[in-house]
Amino acid sequence: MHVGRIVFAQLIDHIPPYEFTKCVERYDGNYKFRGFSCLDQFLCLAFAQLTYRESLRDIEACLRSVDSKLYHMGIRGKVSRSTLADANEAHDWRIFSDFAQVLINIARPMYASESLGFDLDNTVYALDSTTIDLCLSVFPWARFRARKAAVKLHTLLDLRGPIPTFIEVSDGKVHDVNILDSIVPEADSFYVMDRAYVDFARLHVFHRSGAFFVTRTKKGILLQRRYSRPVDTGTGLRSDHTVVLAAAASRKKYPDPLRRVRFFDEKQQRHLTFLTNNFDLPAITICHLYKSRWQVELFFKWIKQHLRIKAFYGYSENAVKTQVWIAVSVYVLVAIFKKRLGVEASLHEILQVLSLDLFEKVPVLQALGRVASQDKSEAISNQLNLLDL
């Protein structure tokens, strides 16, 4: 019988402790330390994410039931509902935001060689947001409409993985296009986004930075055709044009030529029109790039189903952002864990096994080796394949 370390401790081994300490010290996280550190808080909420705990009382009851194992989990403080609530209010959410970015920087090189599903060597990002509905009477700081509260999770997803590289949590009133101001474009990278992000002044910043964008046009945008390229209509392509903005105000914001690609989606029976500043890729690749944007939608669906970001353990802005960032950290940590150990199981299967075996003293590879492949319906399989890191 294996009498080594518990599974939770084997997972936490993949956290760089020095980097976590730097994040805590950057914001004086343990100032007026009262026996419950930022690390204790992180580990407790990571446990809650992995085991799908519903509330602080739920976390307290479960952890106190295994009190003798808390030391082996790395938790040194006394776990209680009030202590966790105080930590969620007092410990700056930016500690966990910065640490999530540390984990992201570790994970991204591990997935840099993953296939996009089509031939392209450049880095490809998908940008989108999802809205998390809240109760206005409980979360008054997140007022969205007259009788509704919400927060938005703005995410830039590296499609090789996929790994979130940029996340911003805002109140529901922040328009998606404003997030473009917070993103530093990378030269030669592609940014795929829907038409909510069409702002020609902001898109021209990406163009001047040497980055490429692919988006859809909006109604009312006036374009003048300057040049036409031949297309293979058998692939669904209808046209490939070099265009310029016709309206003087728009052309002042984006004076350079654009490329307009028209495509007919036979399955959905609809016409799609794409705009990009890249003139080198085949027109069909531009269409494939926009189609790959769907992965960010699947990412949002996945984390809402498998992590705790729809029900919150605290009501303040700090508590909500802390929980979101720790959820992201857990997601990326498990992705790192999967890659380092060469685990064949999907991310979903790993989380299911961890939720049951966190306190077992078995080698983690042995626990994951018991996962049997299950037949999935085609629809579910297609979704999970995109996120089976």
- DSSP class per residue in 26-57: HTTTTTT--S--HHHHHHHHHHHHHHT--SHH
Q: How far apart are CA 278 and CA 53, in angstroms?
A: 47
Domain boundary among 275, 294, 310: 275
Same domain? For 271 and 333 the reply is no
Q: Quick check: is 248 in a domain?
A: yes
**Measured over all CA atoms, what is the biggest interatomic distance in the chain, rounded to whole angstroms?**
76
Same domain? For 266 and 347 the reply is no
Domain boundary among 275, 302, 319: 275
Q: How many domains does the chain have?
A: 2
Q: Quick check: is 33 in a domain?
A: yes
Same domain? For 266 and 335 the reply is no
Q: Quick check: is 23 in a domain?
A: yes
Token code pair at residue 382: 């297609």
Q: How far apart are CA 280 and CA 92, in angstroms?
A: 46
Q: Quick check: is 287 in a domain?
A: no
Q: Note down the domain range covering 240.
A: 195-275
Amino acid, single-letter form, for residue 356: L
Q: Quick check: is 236 in a domain?
A: yes
Q: Quick check: is 284 in a domain?
A: no
pTM: 0.84
Domain boundary among 231, 250, 275: 275
Q: Quick check: is 72 in a domain?
A: yes
DSSP state of 75: -
| CB distance 304 to 131 below 8 Å | no
Amino acid, single-letter form, for residue 111: Y
Q: Quick check: is 75 in a domain?
A: yes
Same domain? For 269 and 336 the reply is no
Q: How far apart are CA 37 and CA 44, in angstroms?
A: 11
Same domain? For 82 and 17 the reply is yes
Per-residue pLDDT of the chain (389 residues; tens, 9 = 90+): 445 788 898 999 999 999 999 999 999 888 766 678 999 999 999 999 999 888 999 999 999 988 888 888 888 888 899 999 999 998 999 999 999 999 999 998 988 888 777 778 888 999 999 988 888 888 888 888 878 888 889 999 998 877 888 888 888 888 899 999 999 999 999 999 999 999 999 999 999 999 999 999 988 899 999 999 998 888 889 999 999 999 999 999 999 999 999 999 888 889 999 999 999 999 999 999 999 888 888 888 888 888 888 788 988 999 999 999 999 999 999 999 988 988 888 888 888 888 888 888 888 888 777 654 444 433 333 444 444 44
